[in-house]
Chain A
Amino acid sequence: MSEEYNFAYLNEQTKRMIRRAILKGLAVPGYQVPFASREMPMPYGWGTGGVQVSAAVMTEGDCFKVIDQGADDTTNAVSIRSFFERTAGVATTTHTGEATVIQTRHRIPEEPLKEGQILVYQVPIPEPLRFLEPRESETRKMHSLEEYGLMHVKLYEDISRHGHISTAYAYPVSVEGRYVMDPSPIPKFDNPKLGDCPAIQLFGAGREQRIYALPPYTQVVSLDFEDHPFEASKADHACALCGAEDSYLDEVIVDDAGGRIFVCSDTDFCARRQEAGHAGKDAA
């Protein structure tokens, strides 16, 4: 651990301020708590909100995992993981089951989370109503008065234009029948995992300076119409490497001749299955 930094980079007062916002967020599930987001040594859009939340909840005994679109080995995941190795000296892992704090960009791990784990989401735009109502003063009023008709207008527009609800990620959810929340740009395949989850789920938006949270076992319902119900969709294939049929898949172009394969977006899940002897059609 480097001597120059306080534990987990942020100073104690800042972490205290962030923890207060997190506690408030947990007390009012789905409510966006404003907080004094700090400048972090990374650009906005790279997870400044998630990093601050991770730093605030991290203790020395934690085991930390970072996933970027499901993968443990991309630039964003590797750099954030090494950031906390340097500044906090915590143990890191790629195994979902071993981690106590998991920072994620746009995915929920396939392996079911358990009590005692904290899932930290990086959120680009926390306001689900933003593209429908540009005024912040008005969206706050709509949240406080529970006026969410507009959210269905967006879904209505989807159906009228495409014949089905085409929103595939950042699919709006209603939390405990009160606040409508943007679950960050996770694929809607992951939406059912938000509800009734044993782990604590924290959402940090650094540029927009908002934190919100889902305490364990919270009721989370994806918005829909009676005659166009919510559907958690995925590519209709099995993983080419591990053969899993129930995991979320990435489409990967493999040559210049239009060849493509579908592989698990969750690299840890896929590797574990391959270790256990499962193989897909393209397994080496």
Chain B
Amino acid sequence: MSDQALLSVRGITKRYGAHIGCAEVSFDLYPGEAMGIVGESGSGKSTLLNCMAGHVAPDAGQVIFDTAVDGPRDTLQMSEPERRMLARTDWAFVHQHARDGLRMGVSAGGNVGERLMAVGARNYGEIRASAAGWLGRVEIDTDRIDDRPSTFSGGMQQRLQIARNLVTGPRLVFMDEPTGGLDVSVQARLLDLLRSLVRDMRLSAIIVTHDLAVVRLLADRLTVMKSGHVVESGLTDQVLDDPQHAYTQLLVSSILQV
């Protein structure tokens, strides 16, 4: 791992009126590292993710990203075209519900190719080959390249969404409950896939979830949030096996041991 942080978050605060979305969140994420953010519903983890990804403007703080061209820059100070360009090149965002991240009326190949075309690819043969390659990597049968995602199962839709996001070779992936709403065996396959993609592509990832099994598998480090504040952070195994904060202890002990 290099010394230069890929993403440095400094004092991110977002209020909804008097209510706190998230407050004074700071951390560094290094290249190739996967970080989990866990917490119960309403703890501010999705707000934090949306602030980092530029979907929501925070009230205070900085999100400094090590851009490929200009080096570290505060993405919140960037102009909107720059930030959107970043969002479709260096960044990827995997939504909880695949249909939020996919175009349901466009074929699987078109969905994967969209980001390529958005950054200027204008050769049909190359776009299609690249889309087919990515469908293969996420274990979708290449024969289904011209089928619409509405004919896919939930797990396939989620895998398609991942392919669509990773096709431009991003360096940072934001994931919002990537396994939410999938049944356990599909979850396991998806996690397995995500883990190998993250390793192979040396992706950095920020994974928001309430499922501790997901972070146990995917995340190197873990941040626990409660009521908008970070209450504990550290190496995943350390936090899960030896929780210090009362809330983390509660969270860990709430899992059914089967």
| Contacts from A to B (Cβ < 8 Å) | 132, 145-147, 149-150, 152-153, 156-157, 159-161, 224-228
A160 and B123 within 8 A (CB): no
B52 contacts the other chain (CB 8 A):
no
CA distance A161 to B115 in the complex (A): 20
* Chain A residues within an 8 Å CB radius of B36: none
B122 and A226 within 8 A (CB): yes
B124 contacts the other chain (CB 8 A):
yes
Q: Residue-by-residue, is B74-94 near A (CB-CB < 8 Å gives 1, otherwise 0)?
A: 000000110010001000000
* Chain B residues within an 8 Å CB radius of A147: 84, 118
A194 to chain B, nearest CB (A): 20
* Chain A residues within an 8 Å CB radius of B103: 132, 153
* Chain B residues within an 8 Å CB radius of A149: 88, 114-115, 117-119
- Chain B residues 28 to 74 lying within 8 A of chain A, measured CB to CB, are none
B109 and A156 within 8 A (CB): yes
CA distance A150 to B123 in the complex (A): 15
CA distance A156 to B128 in the complex (A): 9
CA distance A157 to B109 in the complex (A): 8
A177 to chain B, nearest CB (A): 13
B200 to chain A, nearest CB (A): 26
| Contacts from B to A (Cβ < 8 Å) | 80-81, 84, 88, 103, 106-107, 109-110, 113-115, 117-119, 122-125, 127-128, 145-146
A153 and B114 within 8 A (CB): yes
Which residue among B117, B123, B145 has the maximum number of chain A CB atoms within 10 Å of its CB? B117
> Across the two chains, which residue of chain A brings its CB closest to B115?
A149
B134 to chain A, nearest CB (A): 14
What 6 pairs across the A-B complex have the smallest Cβ distances?
Answer: A149-B118, A152-B117, A225-B124, A149-B117, A226-B123, A145-B81
* Chain A residues within an 8 Å CB radius of B115: 149
B118 and A150 within 8 A (CB): yes
> Across the two chains, which residue of chain A brings its CB closest to B108?
A160
> Across the two chains, which residue of chain A brings its CB closest to B128?
A160
Q: Which of B81, B118, B146 is within 8 Å of A160, CB to CB?
A: B146
A157 and B106 within 8 A (CB): yes
Given A156-B124, A157-B106, A160-B145: 11 more A-B contacts, CB < 8 Å? A149-B118, A150-B114, A150-B117, A153-B113, A156-B113, A156-B128, A160-B107, A224-B122, A225-B122, A226-B124, A227-B123
- Of the A-B pairs whose beta carbons lie under 8 Å apart in the complex, a sample of 6, sorted by A's number, is A149-B119, A150-B118, A156-B124, A157-B106, A160-B107, A226-B122
B123 and A225 within 8 A (CB): yes
* Chain B residues within an 8 Å CB radius of A225: 122-124
* Chain B residues within an 8 Å CB radius of A228: 124
CA distance A150 to B84 in the complex (A): 14
* Chain A residues within an 8 Å CB radius of B117: 149-150, 152-153, 156
B41 to chain A, nearest CB (A): 28
A227 and B124 within 8 A (CB): yes
CA distance A157 to B123 in the complex (A): 13
* Chain A residues within an 8 Å CB radius of B106: 132, 153, 157
CA distance A153 to B128 in the complex (A): 11
* Chain B residues within an 8 Å CB radius of A156: 109-110, 113, 117, 124, 127-128
CA distance A226 to B145 in the complex (A): 21
> Across the two chains, which residue of chain A brings its CB closest to B124?
A225
B92 to chain A, nearest CB (A): 15
B110 and A157 within 8 A (CB): yes
CA distance A146 to B80 in the complex (A): 12
CA distance A2 to B104 in the complex (A): 54
> Across the two chains, which residue of chain A brings its CB closest to B120?
A149
B125 to chain A, nearest CB (A): 5
CA distance A225 to B81 in the complex (A): 24
* Chain A residues within an 8 Å CB radius of B80: 145
